[in-house]
Structure 1
């Protein structure tokens, strides 16, 4: 991999997105609107304070997964990736460049979502808001890398959507949103320990309730980072030049 080529790919992706207001709206605005909708549904109840941190994990994760996977797949379907790889650009440069571009967008997305949840919707945070923001960013980047991973195997946009029941839905069901993970059947709890979104939700809940120290949250961030790095490595190794 080459840093110059990676950064050039990052700049190209950001330039393309800058001229696509619908994608910007989907990435930055939609997760915050969904969080606001959940808060509105549970107005005058304590429910939002309970599930709000999980919503900060869920909506950015899903949106980043969908946008990243479909955008990357489109590069292959249109032959853009094949042309790029005919030049001195490796698969690793391409994947890492996309990861960096969407990671920067994840920072903006997470900042807006956290601000919406805390200062507009009134989500009570007993721990550090900055630490909450850091976990939210890591979670959004996780969605990005899993989207890149899925796009390496999919051939059509419909197949990308088909990856959601495999990669996304189990994480939502077992991540502790509907039932605390320690109350799941033993087998399901063991499976949830191996799902990265579970660790993101655990970390956000820990920060929101201040029930764990910074070392625990840091450990969860390392786990999320390891999953994200693994998805980038596997995605770069399996990426196809073109989709027929």
Structure 2
């Protein structure tokens, strides 16, 4: 082996890497940004879960119990209503994740200890909420004597607490993001590397026609993937679809368009297929880790929550879990629906304009 020639090749590769600013920046930027972002954002402590309250006792004791629970930081009271049915409605619409019901005969129950003094209603479509409810169930409450199980936990939507019920709907988002963003991220780059982009410039094709033409085939691929996951989820894991199947596909279609628009946008930035793949992977991790799929959204710092709101998967996770597991309708989740539509629209417009500059 000639070490002089070997050293010359190494130097050549390092110089070429230095000239490739995108790749060089990602070598340093990816670990730095991800360490800082995820180090601060990922928090396994369950904090500030949105809760609703029905206080039918309206006594000093009941208010003391609610104040004690709120002071734990595990939950934050967002709504006070008059009936448990109203709590169920708020939970179905995704407004709260925990409901607290204090019965009118609170004092008698605490005295006789024959029935629970507090009922905790749990949104079982989210595993982190189930863990929060278990924390609340074992907390000592004012007026509750020792060896008295004074808290009753009622698990809605997933009473058996089966993990696949929580994970399969979210996996639809993960799979679509992983495949569609990466596929489309390399689309224009592949055309440019093969010299096809120059041929397109000579044709009367418009930027919108080029963008939509690139997107349409992958929309069909995405819908096929959704069908496969839903079918296997039902047959293998017995995951229910309590809401409208049509609305499941409507939410998935909007999410697919957002992912494809993101992929096309990446393809306008990358100079090679390798760079496009790197960028696609860079956008994948934040969507998985900050969307609420793996880690509790409520436990994230406020800045991380703001960042997660611009990620398509954050809103899709809420939509798909709401429709599939809670039986919600799209009209019950207007904020996430509009946010996902806005993200898809903005990304599509930006991508088309960047393609227009390339064609001009």
TM-score, length-scaled by structure 2: 0.51
1:106 and 1:141 in contact (8 A); partners too: no
**1:159 pairs with 2:275:** yes
8 A contact 2:291–2:311 mirrored in 1:
yes
Distance 1:63 1:165, change over 3 A: closer
Q: What residue in structure 2 maps to residue 74 of structure 1?
A: 190
Point out the structure with the larger strand share.
2
Q: Distance in 1 between matches of 2:226 and 2:294?
A: 23
Task: State the alpha-carbon separation in 1 of the partners of residues 184 and 220 from structure 2.
Answer: 13
Which of 127, 137, 146 is the equivalent residue of 2:243? 127
Determine the C-alpha separation between the residues in 2 that align with 1:203 and 1:215.
10
Counterpart CA distance in 1 for 2:304 and 2:172 is 23
Give 1 or 2: higher helix fraction.
1
CA distance in structure 2 between the partners assigned to 1:201 and 1:171 by the alignment: 10
Instruction: Flag structure 1 segments of 5+ consecutive residues without an equivalent.
Output: 1-43
The alignment covers a number of residue pairs equal to 199
Does 2:324 align with 1:184?
Answer: no
Mark the runs of 5 or more structure 2 residues left unpaired by the alignment.
1-159
Residue 57 of structure 1: which of 173, 176, 187 is its match? 173
More deviation, 208-217/108-117: 208-217
Which gives a bigger RCO, structure 1 or 2 (Cα 8 Å, sep 6+)?
1
Question: Where has structure 1 moved over 6 Å in runs of 4 or more?
Answer: none
**Greater shift after overlay, 46-55 or 181-190?**
181-190
CA contact (8 A) 1:61 1:142 kept: no
Give the CA deviation at 1:155: 0.7
- The match for 1:197 is 313
SS at match of 1:107: helix
Cα distance 1:110–1:223, how it changes in 2: closer, same or farther (>3 A)? same
Distance 2:312 2:213 in 1: 22
- Structure 2 Cα separation of the partners of residues 146 and 53 of structure 1: 21
CA apart distance, 1:212: 4.1
State the 1:159 CA deviation: 0.7
What is the root-mean-square deviation of aligned Cα atoms in Å?
Answer: 2.3
